[in-house]
């Protein structure tokens, strides 16, 4: 499957000075986004695609998170209720899918 083109970062809750959310727009292999401070309780990023897309898989790198959640919505979404959860993943689920520090393809 070809990669889906991300148009831009709509917003992010926090970002490291080196590992900015804009790194997720890069088509090369270095696409890290990290929180400004290690151990932050919750961080989020909202990405907008070029056009409506069907997701067949998603590649997520994890550096110590206990919970990962992927939500989807359309560009008219204005409240949290306008998004649908497509991937809730708790640390216990990672026994099957991933390591606390690593990459997983869902």
Per-residue pLDDT of the chain (106 residues; tens, 9 = 90+): 567 888 899 999 999 998 999 988 887 766 788 999 988 888 999 888 888 888 878 877 778 777 888 888 887 766 656 788 887 665 555 554 444 445 555 4
pLDDT (0 to 100) of residue 99 = 46
The pLDDT, as a whole number, for residue 35 is: 92
Q: What's the whole-model pTM score?
A: 0.74
Return the DSSP state at 37: S
* Exposure class string for 64-87: b at 16+ Cβ within 10 A, else e: ebeebeeeeeeeeeeeeeeeeeee
Domain boundaries, the chain: 6-100
CATH dotted code for 6-100: 2.60.120.260
Q: What is the pLDDT of residue 100?
A: 47
Beta-bridged to residue 44, according to DSSP, are none
């Amino acid at each position: 499957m070809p990669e889906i083109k991300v148009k831009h970062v709509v917003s992010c809750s926090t970002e490291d000075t080196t590992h900015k959310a804009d790194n997720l727009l890069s088509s090369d292999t270095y696409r890290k986004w990290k929180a400004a401070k290690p151990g932050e309780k919750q961080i989020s990023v909202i990405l907008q695609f070029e056009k409506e897309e069907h997701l067949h898989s998603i590649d997520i790198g994890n550096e110590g998170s206990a919970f990962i959640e992927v939500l989807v919505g359309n560009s008219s979404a204005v409240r949290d209720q306008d998004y649908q959860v497509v991937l809730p993943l708790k640390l216990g689920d990672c026994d099957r899918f991933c390591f606390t520090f690593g990459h997983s393809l869902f």
